[in-house]
């Protein structure tokens, strides 16, 4: 067996879906423009610099929509997919995922963006298995703004993949090869765990590490 894992933002998408969803909240009037955009940009800069406070970000990022009726939030997400994400779904990214899937490999997207934003994106790529940041819900099923369980972020991605494989009755040793595609140094723990790490549309920092370690580099959007 073979396993193929994909980061999402910056890897399969040429944009960051979490940050873009925040921008969309501003565009539809669910968040204050100037104040929200400044905080959203600051959190994104922290992510790129490897110092993101994920708990604080999830609380902030979900605050614009979590008090809305579920049907209203889902309708906004559908519009976000149609207007923002669909134009970013590049054929080469689709083909990369399809090639691994058609080869009979077990395929998953492993992302630090929350499950609400990313579930329809994974579906658009035809990927059944999504490992994303899980959102805690209260007794009435409402999102609280807190993370549930281990977040799929940095070292947590390795832990979440371990748990997901165990739930399927597998472990890392079952796989002859494990590929992981990512653009970010935030994903170094999982890149180092994979037998076939691929620096995909890499940041300058990851490109330097990939060159030093002899990892394959892939550019999907050039």
Q: In sequence order, what are the residues at sequence separation of 6 or more whose Cβ sits closer than 8 angstroms to the Cβ of residue 205?
A: 185
With contact defined as beta carbons under 8 Å apart, do 86 and 105 qualify? no
Cα-based angle 25, 50, 24 (whole degrees, multiple of 5): 10
To the query of whether residue 9 is one of the catalytic residues in this protein, the response is yes
Does this model's pTM top 0.85?
A: yes
pLDDT at 8 over 90: yes
Minimum mean pLDDT range among 26-35, 81-90, 174-183, 189-198: 26-35
Give percent above pLDDT 90 in the chain.
Answer: 95
Q: Pairing between strand 143-147 and 177-182?
A: unpaired
Which residue among the candidates 9, 16, 18, 183 is catalytic per the annotation?
A: 9
For helices 54-63 and 33-48, angle between their N-to-C axes, nearest 10 degrees: 150
Distance (Å, whole) CA 95 – CA 21: 25
To the query of whether residue 187 is one of the catalytic residues in this protein, the response is no
Distance (Å, whole) CA 70 – CA 24: 17
Q: In sequence order, what are the residues at sequence separation of 6 or more whose Cβ sits closer than 8 angstroms to the Cβ of residue 43?
A: 19, 52, 56, 57, 60, 61
């Amino acid at each position: 067996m073979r396993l193929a894992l994909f980061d999402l933002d910056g890897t399969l998408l040429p944009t960051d879906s979490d940050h873009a969803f925040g921008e969309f909240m501003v565009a539809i009037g669910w968040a204050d423009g100037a104040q929200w955009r400044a905080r959203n940009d600051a959190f994104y800069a922290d992510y790129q610099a490897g110092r993101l406070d994920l708990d604080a970000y999830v609380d902030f990022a979900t605050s614009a929509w979590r008090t809305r009726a579920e049907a209203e939030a889902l309708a906004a997400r559908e519009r976000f997919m149609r207007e923002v994400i669909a134009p970013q779904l590049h054929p080469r990214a689709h083909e990369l995922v399809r090639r691994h899937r058609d080869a009979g490999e077990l395929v998953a997207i492993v992302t630090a963006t929350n499950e609400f934003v990313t579930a329809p994106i994974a579906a658009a790529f035809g990927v059944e298995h999504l490992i994303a940041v899980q959102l805690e819900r209260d007794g009435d099923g409402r999102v609280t703004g807190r993370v549930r369980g281990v977040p799929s972020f940095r070292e947590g991605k390795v832990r979440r993949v371990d748990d997901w494989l165990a739930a399927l009755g597998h472990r890392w040793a079952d796989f002859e090869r494990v590929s992981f595609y990512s653009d970010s140094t935030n994903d170094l723990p999982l890149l180092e765990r994979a037998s076939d790490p691929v620096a995909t549309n890499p940041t300058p920092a990851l490109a330097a590490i990939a060159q030093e370690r002899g990892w394959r580099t892939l550019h999907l959007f050039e």
